[in-house]
Structures are given as C-alpha cells and as structure tokens.
Structure 1
Amino acid sequence: MSSTSLPTEPLPAAAPDRFPFRDPALPVRDRVADLLSRLTLDERVAMLHQYSPEVPRLGLASFRTGTETLHGVAWLGPATTFPQAVGLGATWDEELVHQVATATSIEQRAFHYHRPPVVGTGRNSLQGWAPVVNLLRDPRWGRNEEGYSEDPVHSARLGDAFCRGMAGDDPTYLRTAPILKHFLGYNNEDDRYTTSSGLRPRVLHEYDLAAFRPAVANGSATGVMVAYNLVNGRPCHVSPLIEAELRRWAEPTGQQLFVVSDAEAPSNLVDLEHYFEDHAESHAAALKAGIDSFTDHGEDTATTFGRLKEALRRGLISEDDVDTAVRRQLSIRFRLGEFDPQLDPYAGIGWDVVDAPEHRALALRAATESIVLLKNGAAGERPLLPLTGDGLRRVAVIGPLADTLFEDWYSGTMPYQVTVAAGLSAAVAAQGGEVVLVEGVDRIALRAVSTGALLAAPLFDPSGPLQAADTEAQEQSDEAGFDLFDWGSGVLTLRNVRTGRYVSLKDEDRTLAADQLQPNGWDVHETFRLEPQPDGTEVLRNIHSGRYAVVDAATGRVVLSADSPEQAERWRRSTVRDGTAEAVAAAAAADTAVVVLGNDPHINGRETQDREGITLPPAQDALLRAVAAARPQTALLVMSSYPYAVDWAEEQLPAVVWTSHGGQETGRAVASVLLGSAEPAGRLQQTWYRAEDELPGRLDYDIIKAGWTYQYHRAAPLYPFGHGLSYTSFGYSDLRLSAPVMEQDGSVEVGVTLANTGGRDGTETVQLYARALDARYQAPRLKLVDFAKVRLAAGESSELRFTVPASALAHWDVVGGGFTTDPGGYELLVGHSAEALALTAPLTVSGPAPEPRVAVDRRIPAADFDDYADLVLVDADRTDGDALTPAPGGTGELVFRRTALDGATGLRVEVSRTEPGEALLELWAGAPGSGILLASVPVPATRGRYAWTTVEVPLLRQLDGVRDLHLVLTGEQRLAAFTLIG
C-alpha cells in the first residue's frame, strides 16, 4: 500500500470552504474538532506519520513535520548560516539569540513558500526542529556543537529566546513552530540507540528537566522531539515523563504540545532495543505515552499506518488515542495559518529575505560576539592582542583551518564564505600590513608498488576516477599532489592540488574521485587511513566502507574493493612539501603568527560518534609547538565544536582564542576581534578541563556523584564556566541585598555596581551564583541563578539589579518528592566566571527545619535515595516506575538519611529476580559492618524482571529515633520500594 493510496470511507460531498473549520472567527479548538470529525479513521491514522497525506475531498494539504533550523535553515539550499549553537551559547545574549531565531524563521517561511522540498512533495515544513537544549555534561559528546550550555539556567533561557524568535509575536498565528530537542538525558552518541542514561531524581529534576521546563511552561516551545536513548532502562519514546512532566507544564498555557519522534526511533523500540515483541505493540505504547508523530521509514507512510492499524485491530490503542494525537497536529497547523492564508501575517514573505543584507549583518554580529578570549598575556606582560603597530606588518596565518570554513551536519549551505585568512588579509591590508597564508599540512604523492605509477586525478577529467596509470607522472605535478590533513586517531583527508577538492569514495563503482568541496553527509566518504605495512609501504583504506584500495593492472583505475591489507595495493609515500617546515619559515619571517586549529565537524566527533578524548590531534599540536618556537608572538585560534585541553598553549603562548564554527562571516568576525575593532564579548558556556584531569565515564549521567560541570567538579579547570577576557577591565562593588533574611517562599532583591575601569568600551557578562552552606544534601559548589550582559563605555558604571526567588536556591527533596528551599545559610556571589567571583553576600533562609524521613507504614521508592554505590537505575515496568539493581557482579548500597524508626517492627520489600542462585537484601542502621543489622531478606526468584513480589520479615532488632538507613543488595535482583512495618 503506498502512502498516496490509503483507504478512505467516503463521506457526503460538500464544499470544503463552507465547513466550520474554515471559519477563522471560531476558536481554534472548535475548528480542530470540526475538521477531526470529518476525517475518516484511516485518514486520521495516516496523519500520525511524519509525511501526512493530503485529503483532497476536504481541501486538506499534505503536511510534514520538521525543517532543521538549528543555526539557520539547513538542508534546503543556501541560507544565512549563523554560528553553531555552542557559539550562540557563548554570547550569553538572549536578545541576540532571539534575533538569530527571528531571521531563521523568516527564511524558513521563504523556503516554505518559494522553494520545493528536497525530499517529497508539497511544501517545506514550517515546524522547526530546534533548539537543542540538551545540556553539555560531557565535552566528548559528538553533538556538543548543537547545545547551548552545561548549565540548565543558561541553556533554558537561550532556548526560550530562540523559541520566541522562531514563533514570532503575533497573538494568533505562529511564524514557525519550534520543537525542543531531545527529550531526555541525551549526551552520548556511541551506542545511543541502546544505552541507558541513569537519572536519579535530583539529577532528573534539578538538571535535565530544568533545561526543558521554561520554554514549555511559558508556551514559547510548541513541541518536543524525543531522544533515541533510554532513561533508567526505559526508551524515551515510551517515557511517562512526556505526560507527567512536559504536558503537565504546558497545561496552563492552553496550547497543545506536539511531540514528535526522532528519525527511525519508533522502529528501534523493537529492532535495536528489543523492548517490545512487535511493532504494533511498540507503536501503540509510544502513542499512548504521548508521541503524536512517527518519524520513521522516510516518506513511507504505509508502514507506520499498517502498524497502527494492527494496534487498533488488537485493541492496543483506541480511536480516542489516535484522535488525541491528530488533534495536537491540527492545532499546530491552524496556528501556522495553513487554513487562513488571507489572515496569516507572515504569508507575504518573499524570497528576497534569504541571505538579505540585514541577515548578513546579523550573522557577522553573532559570529563576533561568540568569540571568547581565553588568554592574553601573562601577569606583568604586555598583552599580544589586539594586534597593532609592528605586530601587523606581516602576519602569518597558519593551520589546517586557516583558509576553510566547515559546515556541520545541521548547517545550512553558506551563501558565501569569509575564512580567517580572508578576513585577516582584508583587515591587515587596510592597516598597511600583509598576511601570509600557510596551511601547515604535508603535500604528498603516493606511488603504487604494482605499477610504479602515481595516484593522480586524470589530466583531462580532473573530477573523474583517480588512477595510478602514468608511470611518467612527476611527484611535483598538481594532479598527483595531495594535501594530507591529519585529524587524529589515524583519520586522514586528502585534497588534490589540481582540483582543490577532497578525495571521496563513490558508492556506485567503489572508485575514488577528488570532487568534494569538503567532507560531508551522514555517511562521510572522504576519510581514510594510510596503514603502515612491514615492508615500509602503506595501504589506503576508506573508513566508511572499511575496504582497501587496489589498482587495476590493465587500466590503472583505483578501486576500493579489497577486504584485507594482504589483498590491497601497496603505496610508497613521498613528501613533496613539508607543511611544518613551511609554517615555521613563514612564522620566522613574520611579526606575528596566528595558528588556526580545531576540528572538522564531520570527523572524529559528530552525530553517531563521540570523541575519544579532549586533546588536540597530535599533528596539530606538533605544528603549534613548532610555530611558537620560531615565532614567540603566536596566538592560537581554536575553531571547534567543543572544548580542547590546550594546557601547553595556556602555559606557553601569549594568547589563546576560541570560536565555534561561526558560519559565513567567521573570518571578518575573527579579524575584528584580533585587531581590536570589536571587543571579545564571548564567555564560555562549558568548562574546559585539563588534559590530565580524569573525566568521569561517558555514561555516568549522575553529575552530582561523578563530579560533572562547574557545579560539582572539584579539580581546577583549564578555563572555567563563564570565563572570557576583555580588552578593558571591569570592577565590581557594593553588592547588596534588600534583606539579609528571606522566607522559604519569598525573594530578595540583589544590587551590584559594575564599572568599566579600563581605557576602552567593553562588554561584561555579570554572573550571579548561589551556594548552600552546610546543606543536608550534596549541594553544588556553585549554581548559576541569573546573568546579565552589559555594555559600558570607558569609565562608565552601572547599577544592576536582580531578583532572586527562594526557588532559585531550591533542590529536589527526595523525601517530599518536590522542590524545596531548606532554611539555613546561603551565599550569593557575583563576578566574571565560576572561578573569578568578585563579591559575596550572606543570605539566610528562614523557616521550619526539615522533618526526618518517615518510613514506618509509608512506601519509600528505592530511587528516592540520598546516596548510593554500585547500583544501576532500571525500569520497574514498561510504562512507569524506577527500580535499582546491583551493577553486574557486584554488591550495591543505598543510603536513606535521617529516617525515623520509632515503632518499626518489620520490613517489607518489593523485589524481582530472574536469574537462579542466591540474592540477599540487608537493612542496616548505620554503615554496613559497623552499624546494626536490622533485617536480612533472601530475595526469591520471580517469573521475570517485571514480575514483582513482596517479601516481609520481622526486624532483628527494634530501634527508636532517627538513623541513617543502609540497604545492601547482593546478587542479581531489583528493588522497587521498601516499607518499615509498624
């Protein structure tokens, strides 16, 4: 069955334009109800797929969810390309992010009206799949470039600003419909379809949910995309949190939240995760959990249609379940003006808005304000930046990223590109100097051992298949020369000198051609390895296919067809040009060197692939050290999607600067900052750790126990959260509170005076943090509660005021199951960054002291622990609830502090166990071994992991008072809850 021939049940004909759903005077809910009532069941089921078919008899157009709009319209052709989201995060500027989103949504409207879709029919979607508010917990995350911040307050505020810009400010109609990504606990790529993120209640509510809540609760986000991974053993696409949290937050807005699946994730519930037996069952579970649109099987609507119809036939879902989801889709479509083109205020947007002059100017502003000055001279030394005078006579711009701008997977196609070399060349020339460009990469030639010929682009067909046929070809010839880019971990790209393009594998015939502007695509075909062989030769292997190059003896054509090195062609490499030597010579002859290093967003860290580490690729590090030895006046410019541990540069170089991949205006932005016509206004949105700092495990999502982010990490970072230097100086004074004491439901006004104490205008991001003193829980070292970006002229001062509600100091109370602000002592701290705090003010929160945990005759969920060791959070059943199980082969321990024991005579536990053998659960008052053993429970085997049983035992000893309880789990078992029996 095709997606265009789904069965329908004919209804009486009528003029569609006379139906009530066409009447704009009616409330949207009434129009949706009328249209829904006129759709057949099959038509409604078909609408649950990403590509919703048209319904001609009602004049209903086809509809699809999703246009990628993370930092400009993507995948549809040239469009204004802004800095990566991680760069926008570095601006700390909600107004700027709002403007970027506004420009993006205007261009999205233009693509909707004036350009056909790249895939499918109909119109490009007005639903924007952005922003990403997943928190940047681990800088090794392959998709680090897509998020704003490691902090939930920071990320949530920028995400809300982006949503408001996308949606527009019309009270009735949306300009576009922004979708928050990706719900929930998603911060790893390796095995992302099957890995589970363990989120204890405090981390869940204080950290991960906190990034999503504001934009949903205030209605700026119109929907949410659900993540691939599992949380606590349950796939996110069947998570109860969709209804229990997201939709509960959205209820006061009066708007329907439209929840979409990620691509192919519905099928993953069976095919990869094996969470359900069949697709009808899995799709039914996802629909009932709150998924409204299934992004699965591309344009093929029929597969999803068939699975949902089967679920209906088996009684797994009802028509009401279908109608609920379709109602949400239709609500968004009405708000997008689909049915009221004559009233839609955005219907007149023309094609001329795409890459318009004002959008170019905004791209330049965003790229400029995202740049972070990390270091600028040591104490007592003259700063290297901004470059002036003699430092501008001759500038060597060096590095593999010096003269290229990379797009990432979610980039639009840049309408034009201003590279760092181009931007600096123009700016330096305007001041009478010159720029010398050296990429600093080796130029090599590869000679086939079997034929004696050089690998080369065909002389008369440069973009044709590479050959090793001409034994007379010279190594210095352009067609046989390849610039070798070493991205670390043995991953290489080869750019042919004659074509100026990268070598790429062609799937259709497994040949190679030097025809790609840069590595790109979901499956990158432009990365290779040159693997050494015992005889001193090398074999050429394509990373995507895994196959090795062979040479056809008759034609010389090179084909990637060998499965092993033994079957592959041997190559002898010769270096035509030593890239490091050329870079050193250029640096030695210059007055200043700028070395541009970093990543290609498609290589060694991207969607589906996490980074192996956080240090620079060895080849880049060696190039930097060699250049700095020749020219001490060297600035390192890191252009990257994520932090690097540039410890050596921080210690040895006079200046270090960071920019994300900043889009089409990167070069002009960098030049303006390096030469001082613009202030370095960016501040770090995540911690830059040191190389020797041992990071927690990639799948350790417990930021509290693992020590992730500035909130909990104890070791001194290389560069702290919020860090960024200026060309001027700022002074903080007169930190004052409206009152020294605040009630638990109150607020306090905070004032501080900021002065520009330097000699030039500048921008400071004032950061206000809080710290709990003597907390009964493991509190953050610091927690951001507010921030403000302030521009001050030289000598100017300004009084800033913040309102801090008690809720900003709250933590998730596992005893009460909600947020609470404990009475006691706190500090409010203000300054330049999380490690450069200028002023501190004490604050007391008044109120009754927290009561001890009541466990007698009260069910205590096992997940509501205060501390734990060697335990894993898992699903209690497929629809709801969490449980704990010991880590494989170990013994786990749970701690429940300050628990009242008065009257307790027995223990009841809810357990399950599937494996044979013994399992034991012990209850201790105090630490195991040194405390008092209260109960020992043999855990019986049950029928399965979701087959729970209750076991009751008398306490071995009755105690009164308040004690810390420890539950020790030995052997394979799962614990959902316990109760002390009175």
Structure 2
Amino acid sequence: MTASTPPAPPFRDPHLPFAKRIDDLLSRLTLQEKISFLHQFAPAVERLGVEPFRTGQEALHGVAWMGPATVFPQAVGLGATWNPELVRRVGEAVSKEVRAMRARDERIGLNVWSPTVNLLRHPLWGRNEEGYSEDPRLTSAIATAYTHGLRGEHPTYWRTAPVLKHWLAHNNETGRDVTSSSVRPRVLHEYDLRAFRGCVEAGAVAGVMPAYNLVNGRPNHVSPYLREQLRAWTGEDLLVCSDAGAPSNLVDSEHYFDTHEEATAASLTAGVDSFTDHGTDGSKIVARITGAYERGLLAEADIDAAVRRQLSVRFRLGEFDPHYDPYAGTGEFDTPAHRALAREAAEQAVVLLRNDGVLPLAADARIAVVGLLADECKLDWYSGTLIHRSTPLEALYERFGAERVEFAEGVDRVLLRTAAGTFLSVPPAPEASDEVRGAEGALDPALLAGRTDLPPLTTDPVGTEFALVDWGGDVLTLRAPDGRYLSVAEDGFLRASADQPGGWVVQETFRLEPHGDGHLLRHLGTGRHVRVAADGVKVAAEDSPTEPEVFRLVVTERGEEAVTRAAAAADVVVVLAGNDPHINGRETEDRTTLRLPGQQERLLEAARAANPRTVLALVSAYPYAVEAGRLSAVLWTAHGGQAAGTALARVLAGDVSPAGRLPQTWYADDADLPDLLDYDVIGARQTYLYFEGTPLFPFGHGLSYASFAYADLAVRVGEASVGVSFTVTNTGEVTADEVAQLYSRAVEPSVTRPRRELLAHHRVTLAPGARTALSFEVPLTAFAFWDVARGDWRREPGPYDLLVGASSEDVRLRTTVTLDGERAAPRPVARDGLAAVDFDEQSGTEIVDRTKVSGDAVTPAADGTAELLYRACDFGAGVTGVSVEVAGGGTVEVSLADGPPLATLTLGTPTAGPYAYTTLDAPFGAEGVHDLRLRLRGPLRLALVGFSG
C-alpha cells in the first residue's frame, strides 16, 4: 500500500469475523442497492467493487441445465443406495464440477438448489424421482451427506452453498400452486419437518426454498414455520430463496393478497430473502419492494435482515476473499474418478426385488433383450447434458458378446396414411453445420430439437415407417428410422428434430383420437391437431377454420411379434420397461396409476408366454404395480445417469451383487393408495410407517446374490441413548453388500404410533465367510412422539420392540426393552381450553389458516360435516359453560365421548370474512376427565374452545 492508496474497507478485511464485515458492507449500501439485492439476479455495485450475484444453480444429481457435466443417478436412485458416505462423495464431485464450470462460465451459480428432501409419501407424485425416501430419517441421512459433499470440508469457506427444496409438505403437482396440504401437528413434527431439521442441524445447509403449495391454508412463501421452526434450529444465517414465479402466485393464482406490494412485504417479513420471479429482470420485484416500503408495509430493518442473510452466504462462498478461498482453483471436471463414481453409484442403486435363481445370467446364455428402455439412456428435467452414456443393450453386447444377445425393441411400426392416399414422410436432413456437430463430427442430438432449418414433414406415396410408442394415458411418441423424434417448433411445423422428448413443455408427444374410420393426430404440446398443408405438415393455427387431417394407421409390425420371436429363441429374456422422465409423471404432472403402460404390459406378457425364464428390469423414476410372482426375476433401478446401462449389465452378469434397497413402499394396487392430496400419513395409514395392508414389496426390501446371517444381538439402555449391537456374516459364495436395518415399535402406545420405524442402518461389504460387528447408538429422543395435549415431544414409558433385519418386514433379530419416560396427563381444558387443531382423531376436516400471519383453525371438508376427538380432557371440579372462537357460519355441537350433544353453538349470521372471528357461548356441564367430541357443520372455521365456571 502506498501513501496515496486508501485503506481497504473493513468488509474486505479477511481477518475480521464475517458478522463485522457484513455490518460494514450493509452500512455502505444505499436503500435502493439493498432492495436490488433481493431479486434472484442481484446486480453489481461498481462503486464498492461488489460483483453481481445470482441465487440458484440446479445440481440435484449433477450440474443441470448448463451443458455437459457428469450425470449421476436420479435422487431416488441415490436414496436406494442407503449409503450416505457414497452420496457424500457424489455431492463432493458435483460441487467440484460446479466450481470448475464457473471458472469458464460466470452464469454458473455457487448457490445450488439441491437436494430435494420432500418425502416420497405418495408414489403417484410426479416428482418422485427428485426425493430420496418416504422415511424422514433415511431422507435426512442421505440429504445431510449430499449437503456435506456440496459444502466441502473447509471450516470457513464453502465450495457451494446448498439450499433444501421444497419447504413444506409438497407432494402433488396437480394444482400445486393453489392446493393446500392439510397437515396435523403430529404429522408436521414427526414427519414433514423431521427430514428438514436433521439436515439443518448438521450444519451444511445454506437455506431452503419454499414450495408452491399452501400448508393449512397458508402459502409456504408466507409460512410462520420459517421463523418458528427453521430458523430456531440453528444460530447460522439461513437464506430462503423463493421458487420460480411463486411471489407473483400469491396474488395472481392464489389470490391470497390483493396487491403485489402486500404479498412481497408479507413474504419478506415471513423470512423470504431472495425473490425468483420474472427471469433475469429484477425491476418488477424492486418496484414491489420499493412500493411496499413507501406504503409503510416494510421497514428498512426488514430489508437489511434479508440482505444480511444473502451476504452471509456470499462471504462463506469466498466471494470477497478470492486469495483465501480454498476452492477458487478447483478444476476437477469429468475426471476418471468422477466417471468411476457415477458407475459405482449406479451399481449401488440397483435393487433386486425377486429372483428364482435365473440371476446372475450364465456366461454362455443366449439372451433376448427386449423393451422400450433397452437401448435408452434417459435424462430428466434436472439432468445435465451427457458426456458419456451407456444403455443396457450396449452394455450387454459388450459383456456377453453381440453374437449371444438378440434385441427386439418391441415398438409398433406404423405408417400414417392421409385422406388423399399418401403417407407422412420425413425428408432427408440437410448437411449439418459445424455448430451442431460433436467433437468427432457426429450430430449433436441435443442441438436438433426446436430447429427450424430442418425441412418439415411432407407426404409422398411411400411414406416413412415410424416407431410408435404408447407411454400410457393415450400419450405417444413417433420416431423416425434414424432415431429422431417428431417434434413441433415455434413455427408450428412437424419435423424429425429431437433426440428425446424434453423441455418444460414437451413438444414430442401426440395422441391419436378416433374419428370416423380413422384418427385425428393431436399434438399435446400445443393442444392442436395436425394438418397437411401445401408447405408441409403442421399443427393447425389456433383460429384456423381448416379441418384437421384424418389419418389411417397402417401397422407394419406389432411390437409383440418381434418380442415373441426373440424370446422364443433365447435361454433367458430380459425385458427393459419403465418410464420416460419427461412423460406422464414429472414436474407439473402427477401420475394417475401404478400400472405399467398397456403397451409395455403386452410386451412383458408376450415375452413371458414365449419364454418362462423372463427377467423384468424396471428402469423408472417411481414404483410400479406388476405381477412379480409370474416372473423369474424382477429388478428396479432409477434412471442411472451416464453409467445406467453398464451398471445394470454388471448386476445382471453377476460382476456386482445387487444391494440397493427400496427407499419407499411398493404397493400392489391403486386401491391401496390414499387420495394424492391426503397428507395425513397417520389417519390415512400411509407409508410403511402406518400401512396395514400387504405391500408388493416392503420398504427397505432388496435381495442379494449372497446370503447373510444375523446374530449376537445385545442392547444397553443408557441415560441418553440405547446402544444396539449385533453381527452380520456373509454365508454366501460371493462378495456382496448387506444393508442392516434397525427398527423400533412402541408395544403399548396410548396413541397411534408407527407399525415400525427406522432408527438406523448401515451398508457393509463382506467377503464370503466374513463377519462384522455393527453397533448403533440411538438417542432416547428417537422414541418420542409429538404430544398434542402438551404441544411438545414426549416419550412414553413402557416396552419398545427393537427389530434388526434386512428390510422393514424381513426381521432376523428382535428384543424388547423397557424405557422410562413421562406418562400422559389429562388435558387441563378447564384452565387452558383447547386449540382446535390439537385433536387426537378427526374425520372430514381440513386445517386452514387462522390468520394470514400465523395460527391454524379447523373447518369441515367438502361435504360440510366433520368430527374432532380430544382424549382425556380434565374438566376439574366442574365447568358450567363452553365457548368457541369461530369465523364464517355454521354450528358446533359439543358432547362427551359418544354421548348426545350437551351444547350447540350456532353462528347464524356469517362473519365479515374468514378471518373475522367471534366468540359464541353456551351452557355446558362436565366434571372430571372425559373424551370430548366436537361436530362441525357448515362453512365455519373453529380456532379455539374454552370452558368457564
């Protein structure tokens, strides 16, 4: 520093604590500069040398959306590994690639929006692929490992800053921005919050992203739980980033606020710090916050609090200390280690569900490989662009030799004949320009989709034979012989221009609609019918009077015929079935059934009929209901990224013994499922925790090519924990992994408790004959439940079963321990009254917002009648009156247990609005301890019940 060089401001001093440096930088920012920071794309402040910053970089299972990167298995596949240490290494590799990519492209953000910790409560949820498990403890363990890998090991600086998605109780895509998840207190604390809390308390999380939906009638972006729960779990600053477009939804679709200024102010004061809205244009958010401030809806302190939390993340990422940032020079990208890790993760994710001895495949077997997923390496919405790829077919060719493998895709081959007698035809593609060629001159398929320089489809007397794939729900794709899918670009013309279906709005899906003696062809992306014009084949304009073309479907070969031929000539058949992650189950679209698409069921049946030695390998983002007992073997793997095919082939061949475990229950039938919008896992008996039926395959299930013996169970009850130890021995003939699982069950619960509940697990590799001792230290808090009568956790004294085994149903060792605890006390309702939401049992109710800021109320659901039960209410020496705080209009009947109504309170004249509460009183006599039952009728909201006298 020379005499003329001014000293660096304190916020540039790496020797000061971050808190003091943030204070200094905040003091130097103008109000408008601070407001500008609240949009996702925060601009630079050149006078201070502060660079622009963006929140948000997708990195769910590899760096997404920003070009080539290592692609790991889908999140549900990582969950199926039951291996936190492996997932930590995956997170580490992903974060290194984020850093390496940022070094050459400043658009890459270091604030990563991953992982998704929403629980896989319902298997029809379209985003099932993004979560880890239906169990909160397993989800938390896997997510915590991933965030530790993303964060890095340095005590001060972070490699990337992970944000958890999606806060809170988000498991439906249908109406996701307007539906409300009704979550009772026990489900809130024991289930939905638990997955988030474990990650936050582990210290590797930068923040959370609220979900689009509402919880108990209140949008997540104004949730009081951000303050009351999330930020109470840690002393660190946590950044809350809105989901894309959600700030505007508060007014535009949810109509929760009248103006955007009110909505933005309410979000900010509730705890949202970064607004993701209107793309890169921050002007609208800036105007809304400025308007809210000028109207007195916000104070500068509210703005400062949000900016402080943003700056905390930026300082931890080393932005202001480039010379001290240990990750600044990270350049590890597509390394041999990352490629090997992608394969290891894909191998560990494979779950063997059933095997009658046909697997592993004999080295000299003649194999028929059939099915729609046999020669595919599918990506999902949050995948990066593949640098490497493998399909099951390619890998089996390589492993067994092409001469021993027969392939039949099993698609229907069709011609589409027009009314004029000609056929749809794909013209030859012109010579590709350099920019759409890969490193070796091959076409880069990712750059073909949406092209308008390719010639559109025409008609001619011969036509093109298309591969027609029916993905279920009358959704189909049409593929040209060279592998290109029919797609529609912005100009409306049909072209064979896409490597795979994809995009936010998929442009490669169609529906054949019966019409007279033919079919209309509807393009689902635009919703319009296809017509033949003089300049090519296109979708009809929105207001076009032209009649759509009526096509005759000419089938040249049925897929079942090709499958039958291949299967009959083979020693064993491997059927590859499953889903395309962009069709019928994805973000914005829930599934409607557990069944495989009809075309795939027909292919499977054709294979089995021709050859009883049939193996079904499901490659899918979610569970299916299949007739597993009729098959020689069944495997499942999530879409496994770049190494998917190699991993599956190595498992089929026995090079790797499968050891993946199901991270969620596989149900046998759609009838086993509750309504998608029923979030009460306790009342609806959802997930392995409460399901009372017989699953197709239970939570934690997975077979091996080895066998394992469990022995030597020992238990020690300490002052703060229970120690459990046992041994596992590989009694098989191959080296293999086993996933040992520990569950508990309250033997004599006073309330509904899980049938069994995962406490701990460990994946271990054992050679033949090897034995290992495993031990777990389980905190006594793990045996507690949320007691609604006291509004806190409580461990009941009494017996608890401890169950050790290979799945939630495959129990090998068990014992019972007696734990002390706190006995239930009657509710002191005569003194404290009741919060309506703290019921023990209910029927026909929905939980709604008591006010727009905080609190819950209860209202009857759609049919207008509901019941609430509160157990063991203590009326003391006696009460003589009851009061209810209600809004809306309707009736509350109050009775003891199953007795007749002792009081009826009616709100004859509706209140001014849903938040305009009034108190009704009536005589009511009771003394001692009784169960209390309330019956609600009409559109009223019940918040509180009180007693007098």
Matched, 1:953 2:922: yes
1:556 offset after TM fit, Å? Answer: 4.6
Given the two structures, how large is their TM-score scaled by the length of structure 1?
A: 0.92
Instruction: Give the 3 Å change call, closer, same or farther, for CA 907–185 of structure 1 in structure 2.
Output: farther
Instruction: Give the 3 Å change call, closer, same or farther, for CA 459–33 of structure 1 in structure 2.
Output: same
1:271 offset after TM fit, Å? Answer: 0.2
- Indicate which of 342, 348, 351 corresponds to 1:372: 351
Matched, 1:969 2:936: yes
Tell me the distance in 1 between the aligned counterparts of 2:178 and 2:288: 22
CA contact (8 A) 2:886 2:944 kept: no
Tell me the distance in 2 between the aligned counterparts of 1:500 and 1:467: 15
Tell me the distance in 2 between the aligned counterparts of 1:356 and 1:933: 72
Tell me the distance in 2 between the aligned counterparts of 1:880 and 1:640: 40
- Please give the residue correspondences for 1:94-109 in structure 2 after superposition, counting only pairs within 5 Å: 94-109=84-99
Tell me the distance in 2 between the aligned counterparts of 1:586 and 1:17: 78
3-state SS, counterpart of residue 312 of structure 1: helix
Tell me the distance in 2 between the aligned counterparts of 1:298 and 1:904: 62
Matched, 1:503 2:470: no
- Indicate which of 18, 26, 39 corresponds to 2:8: 18
- Please give the residue correspondences for 1:431-830 in structure 2 after superposition, counting only pairs within 5 Å: 434-449=404-419, 451-459=420-428, 461=430, 464-471=454-461, 474-475=462-463, 480-497=464-481, 499-507=482-490, 509-535=491-517, 537-552=518-533, 554-561=534-541, 567-646=547-626, 648=627, 650-691=628-669, 693-739=671-717, 746-830=720-804
The residue identity in structure 2 corresponding to 1:243 is: R
Tell me the distance in 2 between the aligned counterparts of 1:845 and 1:909: 40
CA contact (8 A) 1:832 1:838 kept: yes
Tell me the distance in 2 between the aligned counterparts of 1:150 and 1:175: 29
Tell me the distance in 1 between the aligned counterparts of 2:249 and 2:927: 51
Question: Which structure 2 residue ranges, 5 or more long, are not aligned?
Answer: 432-452
Matched, 1:91 2:58: no
3-state SS, counterpart of residue 510 of structure 1: coil
1:113 offset after TM fit, Å? Answer: 1.2
Matched, 1:313 2:297: no
Tell me the distance in 1 between the aligned counterparts of 2:582 and 2:124: 14
3-state SS, counterpart of residue 142 of structure 1: coil
1:389 offset after TM fit, Å? Answer: 4.0
Tell me the distance in 2 between the aligned counterparts of 1:866 and 1:491: 44
3-state SS, counterpart of residue 303 of structure 1: helix
Tell me the distance in 2 between the aligned counterparts of 1:154 and 1:434: 41
Tell me the distance in 2 between the aligned counterparts of 1:146 and 1:847: 38
- Indicate which of 261, 264, 279 corresponds to 2:260: 279
1:949 offset after TM fit, Å? Answer: 1.2
- Cα deviations by residue, 1:675-699 (Å, 9 ceiling, x for unpaired): 0010101000000000254310010
CA contact (8 A) 1:296 1:304 kept: yes
3-state SS, counterpart of residue 487 of structure 2: strand
3-state SS, counterpart of residue 103 of structure 1: helix
3-state SS, counterpart of residue 513 of structure 1: strand
1:265 offset after TM fit, Å? Answer: 0.3
- Indicate which of 134, 138, 143 corresponds to 2:118: 134
1:731 offset after TM fit, Å? Answer: 1.1
3-state SS, counterpart of residue 197 of structure 2: helix
Corresponding residue for residue 911 of structure 2: 942
CA contact (8 A) 2:126 2:585 kept: yes
- Indicate which of 234, 238, 245 corresponds to 1:250: 234
3-state SS, counterpart of residue 488 of structure 1: coil
Corresponding residue for residue 434 of structure 2: none
CA contact (8 A) 1:546 1:563 kept: no
CA contact (8 A) 1:911 1:973 kept: no
1:528 offset after TM fit, Å? Answer: 0.2
Tell me the distance in 1 between the aligned counterparts of 2:936 and 2:542: 52
Runs of 4+ in 1 over 6 A off after TM superposition: 14-17, 562-566
CA contact (8 A) 2:413 2:465 kept: yes
- Please give the residue correspondences for 1:66-77 in structure 2 after superposition, counting only pairs within 5 Å: 66-77=56-67
The residue identity in structure 1 corresponding to 2:829 is: A
- Please give the residue correspondences for 1:8-157 in structure 2 after superposition, counting only pairs within 5 Å: 18-117=8-107, 124-157=108-141
3-state SS, counterpart of residue 669 of structure 2: coil
- Please give the residue correspondences for 1:200-219 in structure 2 after superposition, counting only pairs within 5 Å: 200-219=184-203
Q: CA RMSD in A?
A: 1.6
CA contact (8 A) 2:540 2:546 kept: no
1:110 offset after TM fit, Å? Answer: 1.0
- Please give the residue correspondences for 1:218-367 in structure 2 after superposition, counting only pairs within 5 Å: 218-251=202-235, 255-350=236-331, 353-367=332-346
1:898 offset after TM fit, Å? Answer: 0.9
- Cα deviations by residue, 1:222-278 (Å, 9 ceiling, x for unpaired): 110110000000000000000100000022xxx210111000000000000000000
1:43 offset after TM fit, Å? Answer: 0.3
Farther off after superposition, 585-594 or 688-697? 688-697
CA contact (8 A) 1:862 1:975 kept: yes
3-state SS, counterpart of residue 706 of structure 1: coil
The residue identity in structure 2 corresponding to 1:939 is: L
Tell me the distance in 2 between the aligned counterparts of 1:428 and 1:226: 49
3-state SS, counterpart of residue 309 of structure 2: helix
- Cα deviations by residue, 1:472-523 (Å, 9 ceiling, x for unpaired): xx25xxxx121111101110001111x321000112x210110100001101
- Between the aligned residues of both structures, percent identity stands at 50
Tell me the distance in 2 between the aligned counterparts of 1:898 and 1:322: 47
- Cα deviations by residue, 1:113-162 (Å, 9 ceiling, x for unpaired): 11243xxxxxx210111000000000000000000000000000101000
- Cα deviations by residue, 1:273-331 (Å, 9 ceiling, x for unpaired): 00000000000000000000000010110000000000000000100000000001011
CA contact (8 A) 1:144 1:642 kept: yes
Corresponding residue for residue 397 of structure 2: 425
Tell me the distance in 2 between the aligned counterparts of 1:527 and 1:835: 41
Number of residue-to-residue matches in the alignment: 924
CA contact (8 A) 1:905 1:954 kept: no
Tell me the distance in 1 between the aligned counterparts of 2:238 and 2:931: 42
Tell me the distance in 2 between the aligned counterparts of 1:735 and 1:709: 28
Farther off after superposition, 440-449 or 745-754? 745-754
Tell me the distance in 2 between the aligned counterparts of 1:556 and 1:969: 63
- Indicate which of 391, 399, 403 corresponds to 2:375: 403
Farther off after superposition, 905-914 or 809-818? 905-914
The residue identity in structure 1 corresponding to 2:896 is: A
Corresponding residue for residue 861 of structure 1: 835
Instruction: Give the 3 Å change call, closer, same or farther, for CA 16–731 of structure 1 in structure 2.
Output: farther
Corresponding residue for residue 168 of structure 2: 184
The residue identity in structure 2 corresponding to 1:923 is: V
3-state SS, counterpart of residue 269 of structure 2: helix
The residue identity in structure 1 corresponding to 2:730 is: N
3-state SS, counterpart of residue 830 of structure 2: coil
3-state SS, counterpart of residue 227 of structure 2: helix
1:853 offset after TM fit, Å? Answer: 1.1
Tell me the distance in 2 between the aligned counterparts of 1:601 and 1:209: 28
CA contact (8 A) 1:771 1:782 kept: yes
The residue identity in structure 2 corresponding to 1:482 is: F
Tell me the distance in 2 between the aligned counterparts of 1:457 and 1:512: 9
- Cα deviations by residue, 1:942-978 (Å, 9 ceiling, x for unpaired): 22110111222221x3x33211110111222111011
3-state SS, counterpart of residue 629 of structure 1: helix
Matched, 1:979 2:949: no
Tell me the distance in 2 between the aligned counterparts of 1:409 and 1:886: 38
3-state SS, counterpart of residue 458 of structure 2: coil
- Cα deviations by residue, 1:517-538 (Å, 9 ceiling, x for unpaired): 0001101000001111122x11
Farther off after superposition, 799-808 or 338-347? 799-808
Matched, 1:920 2:891: yes
Instruction: Give the 3 Å change call, closer, same or farther, for CA 470–196 of structure 1 in structure 2.
Output: same
